[in-house]
Amino acid sequence: MPLLRLEEISLAYGHFPLLARVDFQIDAGERVCLVGRNGTGKTSLLRIIAGAVAPDEGEMWRMDTLRVAHLEQEVAPETDQTVFEVVAGGLGQLGSLLTQYHQITHQATPTEPAALEGLGRLQASIETLGGWNTNQRVETVLTRLSLPGDKRLSDCSGGIRRQVMLARALVCEPDLLLLDEPTNHLDINAITWLENYLLAYQGALIFVTHDRTFVRRLATRIVEMDRGKLTSFPGNLDAYLGKKDELLEIEERAAAKFDKKLAEEEAWVRKGIKARRTRNEGRVRALQALRREKAQRLEAQGKARFGIDVGNMSGKLVIDVRRVSFRYGDHWIIRDWSTRILRGERVGILGPNGSGKSTLLKLILGELEPTSGEVVLGTRLQVAYFDQHRRMLDPEKTVRENMSDSDYVTVKDRSRHVIGYLKDFLFAPERIDSPVKALSGGERNRLLLAKIFTRSANMIVLDEPTNDLDVDTLELLEDLLADYDGTLLLVSHDRTFLDNVVTSTLVFEGDGKFGEYAGGYEDWESYQRAIPTVPVESQKAAKDIPRAGAEKDHRIDKRRKLTYKEQRERETLPDRIETLEAEQAQLHALMGDGNFYRQTSDKITIAMERLETVKRELEACYERWQTLESVATETNDPS
């Protein structure tokens, strides 16, 4: 059943057409992802659907009583309302009642008869409107997004405000939900929760995102915006990518055929008087029509082109972290942590927002001093640092001024004009003298990449580089980093990007501790799924239960002596453990090598599966040896 339909919709800013007589329909239960390069008009289309912008031409039909909620890209305005009030405010009268109830119950419990009577009337009103389930929904969304319900919105950062507006859109549960970059400023835990929430959501969804994992999990249809047109692709992201490649090949062949015909006609008309004879006037008119079509034909947008100069090779040991601890006041970010990072390793860093990922990078780069311990950097290091807050860019200066004091930049020991260089990063010449504060988020990230890639660097540190970048630029950056011979440290919430780039992962696991894992996000997630969850109250009893992989006959009565066979097993287990540990170390070293992930997928899979098998065998051996050792100790205990 259709919820909304657009017919012959057009929208232009100046002479640039964002939408050119397009048609679009969304049906109940659909989850549609809008894709396209930055600036193609995805946000404008959402605003037309939401009724915030009127099209230049065309008509829009909406189902009667259609309820629409819209998360825009812009950060929410300042207000003295609390986060709870803003989120509940999207529920109309019910939201107002829930806000009053929240305020009362979070203050001192009323004791006066009049106050108690008022609270009773308020509870009755909420119950009449069926609001208790809604109140629970508000509380759940606030908890899952880690939002401070009683904090004033005006006191929150821009990222928190955006999450508040996402929460407001979600709790409304409208018939049609419009989400513009919903994963921005969310950590991976929140993104995963949002995915599951939207998968269970009963309404229709139209969303814009550059998070490819998010698209793969949610989209039932892809709609591409390209040069003012909309093209619908049923199915998931991978089906769209395959079909898109076919269409681009067809378009290129058609354009080449058109250009050949135009060139032939231009050559004919230049022959002179014969072209102006009466019997050839039709051919002349056809040529003029071809010229008009050529002028009106919008060429496919270019792709970013840039490279990384690795410069001189660094020493083998790049970073040596020695028992480092760091805290802000009484809050420990890192506790007694040691690790080594070698040349060529590409390390991803995962953790919730506020856990200390950026702090870790600053400790490594020497911008912060550890509370205890030390960080020793290797020799001949040349570091390029992409800061998520873009502090290297001066918002008051122009694009040109941020790149160079002159009209030229030096790239790979070669002088290039700044306009030509920035074209590789998709900056049009007329954009060069725009102030940075006027740029979009994606443009600022591309400018920062352009700035740091002018330098030779054998270690690159990237803190959230993927925010606001379109998919084409993300994929190009992935390819560059995959071929990069230097060392990489990467903080990102883009799971696909992590999987395609890193060779190992550091994961914040609470209380200032880290886990170190081979592979990317998917490998870490697979490891987490394999770990059995044991309730706290059952952990004591679980000590006598062998781990998965241990044989059933390994369960022995600790009150008796070891048999001869068990005694021999106890003596040989240390050698078996040592062999397995050596193989595990070899596999970790293999996967830490920069060339490991350039092998065929079959070889990578075999190594990963062997590592998991060795890990399970080691766990079983550890537990078996501990059990046998415990029995032997109790047997020899004279008490």
Residue 74, pLDDT > 70, answer no
233 in a domain, yes or no? no
Whether 352 and 334 map to the same domain: the answer is: yes
Whether 33 and 81 map to the same domain: the answer is: no
Weakest mean pLDDT among 370-384, 420-434, 541-555: 541-555
Left, alpha or beta for 600 (phi > 0: left; psi -120 to 50: alpha)? beta
Which percentage of the chain shows pLDDT scores above 90? Answer: 18
Q: What is the pLDDT of residue 271?
A: 62
φ, ψ (nearest 5 deg) of residue 24: -160, 145
Whether 358 and 465 map to the same domain: the answer is: yes
549 in a domain, yes or no? yes
Contacts of 319 by beta carbon, 8 Å cutoff, 6+ apart: 339, 340, 341, 364, 375, 376, 377, 378, 487
308 in a domain, yes or no? no
Which percentage of the chain shows pLDDT scores above 70? Answer: 75
Whether 543 and 628 map to the same domain: the answer is: yes
473 in a domain, yes or no? yes
AA letter at 438: A
Whether 113 and 124 map to the same domain: the answer is: yes
230 in a domain, yes or no? no
Weakest mean pLDDT among 4-13, 277-286, 443-452: 277-286
CATH no. for residue 195? 3.40.50.300
The total of other beta-carbon atoms located within 10 Å of residue 17's CB is 17
Whether 379 and 455 map to the same domain: the answer is: yes
pTM: 0.66
143 in a domain, yes or no? yes
Q: What is the pLDDT of residue 581?
A: 83
CA distance 197 to 190: 10
Residue 15, pLDDT > 80, answer no
Of the residues 173, 192, 226, which one is the last residue of a structural domain?
A: 173
Of the residues 499, 527, 555, which one is the last residue of a structural domain?
A: 527
Domain count for the chain: 5
Residue 638, pLDDT > 60, answer no
Residue 525, pLDDT > 90, answer no
Query: Residues 74, 167, 69, CA angle at the centre, nearest 5°?
Result: 70
3-state secondary structure of 103: helix
393 in a domain, yes or no? yes
Of the residues 230, 261, 296, which one is the last residue of a structural domain?
A: 296
Whether 204 and 88 map to the same domain: the answer is: no
Token output for 559:
């009150």
Range of the domain at 285: 241-296
Whether 58 and 73 map to the same domain: the answer is: no
Whether 537 and 630 map to the same domain: the answer is: yes
Give me the DSSP letters along 447-484: HHHHHHTTSB-SEEEEESTTTT--HHHHHHHHHHHHH-
287 in a domain, yes or no? yes
Whether 211 and 344 map to the same domain: the answer is: no
Whether 567 and 577 map to the same domain: the answer is: yes
Whether 366 and 429 map to the same domain: the answer is: yes
Residue 553, pLDDT > 60, answer no
